[in-house]
Amino acid sequence: MIFLELFLTFLKIGAFTFGGGYAMLPLIQEEVLAKGWASEEAIINFIAVSESTPGPFAINMATYIGAEMGGLFGSFCATLGVVLPSFVIILIVAKCYDKFKESKVVRGCMSGLKPAVVGLIGAAILSVAVTVLIPSGFSLAIFSQISLYVSLAILAIGLVLAFKKVHPIIIICISAVLGIASGYILN
Amino acid sequence: MKKLKKLLSIFWVFFRIGAFTFGGGYAMIPLIQKETVENKKWITDDDILEIVAIAESTPGPIAINASTFVGYRVAGFWGAFFGTLGTVIPSFTIIFLISFVLREFQDIKAVQYAFSGIRAGVLALLIKALITMYKKAPKGLVSYIVMAASFIIVGFFDINVLYVIIFCAVFGLVTSLLAERRAGK
């Protein structure tokens, strides 16, 4: 039953994502890749789509995977799943905020979770880097492949622009143009 | 009637926030502040700080945490419900439509070339985001060990991310309780 599976998978992802933005990426890789719902390349492509459209990354991702696997109702189930833990927990916290704020247990857990999330995103990005730079697997032959150097060049340009605080959408557009140009020149 | 009007107004405010925030998460906070503190005067600047603190220590997307919390403060359960619905609907509709477009165009050569370039660009964006997060993370020896250990365990060994998250939460709890006990003596 794909709808129930979508709901439960994204419920789990929603319940264990701490911190905003890409904190969800390691869990998406773990759950979605393992189930074969999307390839790593499709997920990276979708990050670009999500950066260029409004709305939170988590909702965009759930809607997209849901649509791919189960159409409109699939989207609905996945999105409901990712939203529900957050919604329920905030309702509880809003009722007893003062207790929550002073809770040593919450503060203690967060002192371990915050650095863990940084390490986990680092690991997720390592896996993205392998997919982007050496899509056909690691061997000595890759050093003679021109596509590796094209990707490295685009990565370098992207990094310089990102640190100059250029908007992500502009970086994505520039990468697309460079990708098309090098694609037609090389093939 | 007055209550219904308020709920609709909560829905509409968060619908606009959902429709106009690119990147999501923290990008949403200034917009929420402007709409709910300055324009509607539903909550105060202190509440905004509270929301950020709560969002950081509860699971789930920050945008959902914030809209649920503000909605609840303004109009109870149904306020939370309509706030969250408003945040989700723009994103849901746009992505659902785009998923058709992506499927339709993915076989075109130029689109494939574009995405092969875009993937390298996305890698740059992710590295930038990671460095920003690293700078915001707690400092200290224990933090660095947790960071390095979770990176190595998930990056180089086939261990489930969920176990690492649960273990690190427990580890953080135990070390902070121990540190407190030692300070108390």
- ipTM for this model: 0.87
Task: Mutation target for A interface from B143, B154, B157, B174: give the one with most A CBs within 10 A.
Answer: B154
Q: What is the mean pLDDT of residues A78-94?
A: 92
pTM of the model: 0.86
Task: Mutation target for A interface from B161, B164, B167, B170: give the one with most A CBs within 10 A.
Answer: B161
Look up the domain containing B13 and give its range: 2-105
Inform me whether the pLDDT recorded for A141 exceeds 70: no
Inform me whether the pLDDT recorded for A104 exceeds 80: yes
B34: in domain: yes
Which residues, 6+ apart, have CB-to-CB distance to B34 below 8 Å? Answer: none
Cα–Cα distance for residue pair A80/B141, rounded to 1 Å: 39
Cα–Cα distance for residue pair A183/B102, rounded to 1 Å: 19
| Same-domain check for residues B62 and B152 | no
Inform me whether the pLDDT recorded for A99 exceeds 90: no
| Same-domain check for residues B93 and B141 | no
| Beta carbons of A108 and B60 less than 8 Å apart | no
Q: Each residue's pLDDT tens digit in chain B (185 positions)?
A: 778 899 999 999 999 988 888 766 677 888 888 888 888 888 888 888 888 778 877 888 888 888 999 999 888 999 999 999 999 999 999 999 988 888 888 888 888 888 889 899 989 988 988 898 888 888 888 889 999 999 999 889 878 888 888 899 899 999 888 888 888 76
Q: Which of A34-38, A45-49, A81-85, B51-55 has the lowest mean pLDDT?
A: B51-55
Domains of chain A, by residue range, sit at 2-133, 137-187
B119: in domain: no
| Same-domain check for residues B15 and B94 | yes
**Residue pair B169/A109 in contact by the 8 Å Cβ criterion:** yes
| Same-domain check for residues B159 and B96 | no
CA closest to A44 among chain B residues: B119
| Same-domain check for residues B93 and B8 | yes
CB atoms within 10 A of CB B100: 10
B127: in domain: no
Which residues, 6+ apart, have CB-to-CB distance to B55 below 8 Å? Answer: A20, B62, B65, B66, B69
Which tops the pLDDT comparison, A90 or A22? A90
Residue by residue, what is the 3-state secondary structure of A31-71? HHHHCCCCCHHHHHHHHHHHHHCECCHHHHHHHHHHHHHHH
Q: What is the pLDDT of residue A48?
A: 86
B175: in domain: yes
The tally of domains found in chain B comes to 2
Which tops the pLDDT comparison, B67 or A146? B67
